[in-house]
Amino acid sequence: MNACVTGLQWGDEGKGKIVDVLAEKSDIVVRYGGGANAGHTVIVDGTKFALHLLPSGSIRPNTICVITNAVVIDPQVLIDGIRKLAEKNITLDNRLLISENAHVVLDYHKKEDQLREEALGKNKIGTTIRGIGPCYADKVGRSYAVRMGDLRNLDKLKAKLQNIVDYKNKLFTALYNAEPLNADEIFQNCKSYAEKLTPFIIDTTEFLHKSIAEGKSILFEGAQGSMLDLDHGTFPFVTSSNSSALGMPSGCGVPAKMVDKFIGVIKAYSTRVGAGPFPTEQDNETGQYIRERGHEYGTTTGRPRRCGWFDAVVTSYSATISGIDEIAMVHLDTLAGLKEVKICKAYEINGKETTFFPANIDRLSQAQPVYETLPGWEEDLSEISSFDDLPANTQNYIKLVEQITKKPITIIGVGPGRKQTIFR
Ligand code: GDP
Ligand code: IMO
Ligand code: MG
């Protein structure tokens, strides 16, 4: 069975945990998009792993891990990730495969990300400064792009980098009055990346199709979430890739029809990190309560996440565009202790109610959430292992989300650990 796990909110939904749990029954886990802007947390027996580029199946010793074409790879972050796992006696030797066609994030991408955000001032996107936008821009622009396969031909790469860095330096000095970068330094870094990473570089599309033909079970893992999708999210406050499940087929060269099940991950509330519209945001005591109880601070940047009520308009839209079959809802434990809990079931825009999410931010900025208020629950859920043992108010909350989104919630998270997962 092949499945795809994708975020249905603004990222950080808990994809890492869900992928790790589902990876138990998968032969292969595939990261199909985004870059080191992602931070996927997996907690196993109290040990915490923060994965930025490695698939969340990496922790399981026999799982093949694949990073496909549409991922933008910061080689140093990947090397650090491999090393950190090795320090915990988890080796990726003979089970990590990296696409030769994945694009490489280099120093000038991170520099440009930072310079551009600084120049934008109060209009900044609030990116992770991981060079994501500039790297995808070079990919689309084609002429100044470096791909993982280029690490196999260093002479050619040296000349290519000289040309790219000359061009970037002209831009950076003219536009931002910035210090020029040194092409040779970047090349020397690439030489060291090549030494460590070339053994893993292959044609991942061929590998995946062979594996599918052999009947292997594959789990596809998305990064970010549908609301950050370049084409379907809250543009321009998005990332630079198709981070909904729509990015899966193009991201790895496997058609969606070869995936048996699309699983969307949501939190029992909403969070967003970075700038941009967030209709159900609670910039108040409730938001603070959720942030502290849920440890809502970024895995990649450490920034406090903005918190708010669950938005069923967002989830319904995301589930629709991503073709979601089932939902995993995590962090129900975090909401415990609130007297009342709210679910946004519609937006009112200029006096008219809508249940279809307006991805155009001019309309979205007019949206007033229409809430359904439910009684909360006091009980600690973290030890509960079956749906029937959940408090009635928690069950009702889950059922209302199912009713509004018309999707079954088949996996429930009651804590960050692998075992704190309820299957229905
Ligand atoms: P991802 O980017 O979607 O993988 O999510 P992150 O790892 O960035 O953020 C999710 C956070 O929630 C992590 O710290 C997880 O350990 C944690 N988490 C996941 N599921 C649950 C849950 O059911 N309850 C609680 N309390 N924490 C959870
Ligand atoms: P995971 O995979 C949450 C956000 C950034 C910013 C916007 C653009 O852990 O869910 P970028 O650096 O991509 O150009 O930033 O997207 N963002 C994320 N927010 N989780 C993520 O990944 C994110 N990746 C990017 O905060 O608002
Ligand atoms: Mg994250």
CATH number of the CATH domain containing 108 = 1.10.300.10
Domain that holds residue 354: 3-92+204-423
pLDDT at 2 over 90: yes
Tell how far the Cα of 224 is from the centroid of ligand 3, in angstroms. Answer: 7
Spatial separation of the C-alpha atoms in residues 296 and 306, rounded to whole Å: 8
Name all residues whose Cβ lies below 6 A of ligand 1.
7, 11-17, 38-41, 43, 294-295, 299, 330-331, 333-334, 413-416
Average pLDDT over residues 301-327: 96
Catalytic residue among 20, 27, 40, 231: 40
Residue labelled with tokens 């030489």: 191
Q: Flag whether 142 is in a domain.
A: yes
**Does residue 287 contact residue 281 with C-beta atoms inside 8 Å?**
yes
Tell me, letter by letter, the H, E, C secondary structure of the chain: CCEEEEECCCCCCCHHHHHHHHHHHCCEEEECCECCCCCEEEEECCEEEEECCCCCCCCCCCCEEEECCCEEECHHHHHHHHHHHHHCCCCCCCCEEEECCCEECCHHHHHHHHHHHHHHHHHCCCCCCCCHHHHHHHHHHCCCCCEHHHHHCHHHHHHHHHHHHHHHHHHHHHHHCCCCCCHHHHHHHHHHHHHHHHHHEECHHHHHHHHHHCCCCEEEECCCCHHHCCCCCCCCCCCCCCCCCCHHHHHHCCCHHHCCEEEEEEECCEEECCCCCCCCECCCHHHHHHHHHCCCECCCCCCECEEECEEHHHHHHHHHHHCCCEEEEECCHHHCCCCEEEEEEEEEECCEEECCCCCCHHHHCCCEEEEEEEECCCCCCCCCCCHHHCCHHHHHHHHHHHHHHCCCEEEEECCCECCCEEEC
pLDDT at 272 over 90: yes
Using the 3D structure, point to which of 199, 230, 250 is the last residue of a domain. 199
> Which residue puts its alpha carbon closest to atom 11 of ligand 2?
127
Average pLDDT over residues 23-27: 97
Note the pLDDT of residue 302: 87
Q: Are residues 250 and 369 in the same domain?
A: yes
pLDDT at 364 over 90: yes
pLDDT bin (cut points 50, 70, 90) of residue 128 is very high
Q: Are residues 75 and 223 in the same domain?
A: yes
Q: Are residues 148 and 36 in the same domain?
A: no
Note the pLDDT of residue 139: 98
Ligand 1 atom nearest residue 412's Cα: 23
Q: Flag whether 52 is in a domain.
A: yes
Mean pLDDT score of the chain: 97
Q: Flag whether 98 is in a domain.
A: no
Q: Are residues 9 and 68 in the same domain?
A: yes
For residue 153 the two structure tokens come to: 């031909």
Q: Are residues 312 and 180 in the same domain?
A: no
pLDDT at 299 over 90: no
Q: Are residues 240 and 262 in the same domain?
A: yes
pLDDT at 418 over 90: yes
pLDDT at 199 over 90: yes
Q: pLDDT per residue over 171-197, tens digit each?
A: 999 999 999 999 999 999 999 999 999
Q: Are residues 286 and 415 in the same domain?
A: yes
Specify whether 295 is catalytic.
no
Q: Are residues 14 and 85 in the same domain?
A: yes
pLDDT at 301 over 90: no
Q: Flag whether 97 is in a domain.
A: no
pLDDT at 300 over 90: no
Note the pLDDT of residue 241: 98
pLDDT bin (cut points 50, 70, 90) of residue 284 is very high
Q: Are residues 314 and 192 in the same domain?
A: no
Q: Flag whether 398 is in a domain.
A: yes
Using the 3D structure, point to which of 142, 168, 199 is the last residue of a domain. 199
277 in contact with ligand 2, CB cutoff 6 A: no
Q: Are residues 257 and 371 in the same domain?
A: yes
Using CA atoms, how far residue 80 sits from 75, 179, 364, 412, in Å, is 9, 27, 40, 32
Using the 3D structure, point to which of 183, 199, 215 is the last residue of a domain. 199
Q: Flag whether 265 is in a domain.
A: yes
9 in contact with ligand 2, CB cutoff 6 A: no
> Which residue puts its alpha carbon closest to atom 25 of ligand 2?
37
Spatial separation of the C-alpha atoms in residues 151 and 401, rounded to whole Å: 48
Q: Are residues 50 and 173 in the same domain?
A: no
Q: Flag whether 147 is in a domain.
A: yes
Note the pLDDT of residue 276: 96
Total count of domains within the chain: 2
pLDDT bin (cut points 50, 70, 90) of residue 351 is very high
Of the listed ligands, the closest to the CA of 17 is 1
- What is the domain-level CATH number for residue 355? 3.90.170.10
Specify whether 103 is catalytic.
no
pLDDT at 298 over 90: no
Q: Are residues 329 and 375 in the same domain?
A: yes
Ligand 1 atom nearest residue 421's Cα: 23
Tell how far the Cα of 299 is from the centroid of ligand 2, in angstroms. Answer: 10
Tell how far the Cα of 298 is from the centroid of ligand 2, in angstroms. Answer: 9
Ligand 1 atom nearest residue 224's Cα: 2
pLDDT bin (cut points 50, 70, 90) of residue 127 is very high
